């Protein structure tokens, strides 16, 4: 049996990884979000892979993409190969005595405000686990970035991944006791005289004032932070009030560093989820981290 010399060239692994993500998600932009690269970079990688293979993998119609017959065949094998590689890497780590390493991905705000205060608690419960925290805003690629588990904020739908519900949350006005006293915040309408940090979420000040029946006219302008940690630091510095998220502020409220002057809350549109590839084999260390995360979130927001 003869073999074409071209078949002996190294496989374009990065291109295959990008192709697998685009095929699985059905969209170049979502594939880029998962891999932490731009949509144009995904398109370029796919184009280079198609040129390398000498065949079209997708039919394109504007933003819509569909696999060709050849793309379907390659997709099936690429998914299988990537899954096998991940399983093999886990086996290698176990053989080298490194199966206790668990890499957990989460948003920087969740890492700083939810996990960091619980670091000692986790360490005491799991002295043998070498936990690595990957804090990033992009949707990580589990295979490419060596991620075992991820805490994500959304509606619970990530194609190709298993998602376990962790907790819902509410948002409500919060500030420090000093700020409330200085600005005489006694009634909901008093907040209209305060500096308001505007949230980077679906729920905003207009929604909250509407529930309270406050005629707002024009809500005062204020800064908008893309990261909850920065917003919280400004509030704890007695600079403003914000719509605090219950899961990220529970310890500051309990300690009295923050107060919620009014009882009215808004249900957040998104929830917290534990996400991981469904094909990953059971691992004692990963299972221990998973169980600890589930229990820790239940303590903040009990699951009914």
100-168+270-300: CATH architecture: 3-Layer(aba) Sandwich (3.40)
Q: Which CATH number does 170-267 carry?
A: 3.40.190.10
How far is Cα 249 from Cα 199, in angstroms, rounded to an integer?
A: 14
Q: What is the DSSP track for the chain? A: ----GGGGSPP-HHHHHHHHHHHHHT-HHHHHHHHTS-HHHHHHHHHHHHHHHTS--EEEETTEEEE-HHHHHHHHHHHHHHHHHHHHHHHHHHHTT-TTEEEEEE-HHHIIIIIGGGHHHHHHH-TT-EEEEEE-SS---HHHHT--EEEEEESS--TTSEEEEEE--EEEEEB-HHHHHHTT--SGGGGGGS-EEBPSSS--HHHHHHHHT---SSPPP--B-SSHHHHHHHHHTTS-EEEEEHHHHHHHHHTTSSB--S---EE-S-EEEEEE-TTPPP-HHHHHHHHHHHHHHHHHS---
CA torsion through residues 108, 113, 116, 121, sign: negative
CATH class belonging to 5-91? mainly alpha
Q: Measured between alpha carbons, how far is residue 54 from residues 28, 47, 278 in Å?
A: 20, 10, 33
Q: Which of 220-234, 260-274, 276-290 has the highest mean pLDDT?
A: 260-274
What's the pLDDT tens digit per position in 93-149?
555 555 688 899 999 999 999 999 998 899 888 888 889 998 888 777 787 788 899
pLDDT of 301 reads 63
What's the pLDDT tens digit per position in 207-232?
999 999 988 777 877 888 888 999 99
pLDDT at residue 235 above 90?
yes
Residue 180: which pLDDT band, with cuts at 50, 70 and 90? very high
pLDDT of 38 reads 85
What's the pLDDT tens digit per position in 49-107?
999 888 999 988 776 788 999 999 998 888 878 777 766 666 665 555 556 888 999 99
CA torsion through residues 118, 124, 126, 131, sign: positive
Within this chain, domains 5-91 and 170-267 share the same CATH topology: no
| Ranges of each domain in the chain | 5-91, 100-168+270-300, 170-267
pLDDT of 222 reads 85
How far is Cα 248 from Cα 232, in angstroms, rounded to an integer?
A: 9
């Amino acid at each position: 049996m003869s073999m074409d010399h071209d078949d002996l060239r190294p496989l374009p692994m990065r291109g295959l990884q990008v192709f697998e993500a685009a095929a699985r998600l059905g969209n170049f932009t979502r594939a880029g979000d998962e891999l932490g690269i731009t949509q144009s970079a995904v398109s370029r990688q796919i184009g280079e892979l198609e040129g390398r293979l000498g065949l079209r993998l997708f039919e394109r119609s504007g933003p819509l993409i569909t696999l060709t017959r050849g793309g379907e065949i390659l997709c099936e094998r690429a998914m299988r190969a990537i899954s096998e590689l991940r399983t093999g890497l886990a086996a290698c780590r176990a053989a080298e005595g490194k199966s206790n390493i668990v890499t957990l991905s989460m948003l920087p705000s969740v890492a700083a405000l939810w996990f960091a205060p619980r670091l000692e608690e986790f360490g005491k419960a799991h002295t043998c686990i070498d936990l690595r925290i990957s804090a990033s805003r992009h949707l990580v690629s589990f295979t490419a970035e060596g991620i075992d588990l991820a805490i994500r904020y959304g509606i619970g739908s990530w194609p190709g991944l298993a998602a376990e519900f962790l907790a819902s949350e509410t948002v409500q006005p919060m500030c420090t006791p000093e700020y409330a006293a200085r600005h005489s915040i006694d009634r909901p309408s008093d907040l209209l005289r305060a500096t308001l940090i505007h949230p980077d979420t679906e729920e905003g000040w207009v929604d909250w004032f509407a529930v309270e029946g406050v005629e707002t006219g024009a809500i005062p302008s204020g800064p908008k932070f893309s990261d909850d940690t920065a917003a919280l630091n400004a509030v704890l510095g007695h600079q403003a009030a914000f719509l605090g998220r219950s899961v990220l502020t529970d310890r500051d409220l309990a300690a009295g560093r923050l107060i919620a002057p009014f009882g009215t809350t808004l249900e957040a549109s998104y929830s917290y989820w534990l996400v991981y590839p469904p094909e990953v084999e059971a691992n004692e260390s990963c299972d221990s981290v998973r169980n600890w995360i589930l229990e820790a979130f239940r303590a903040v927001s009990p699951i009914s």
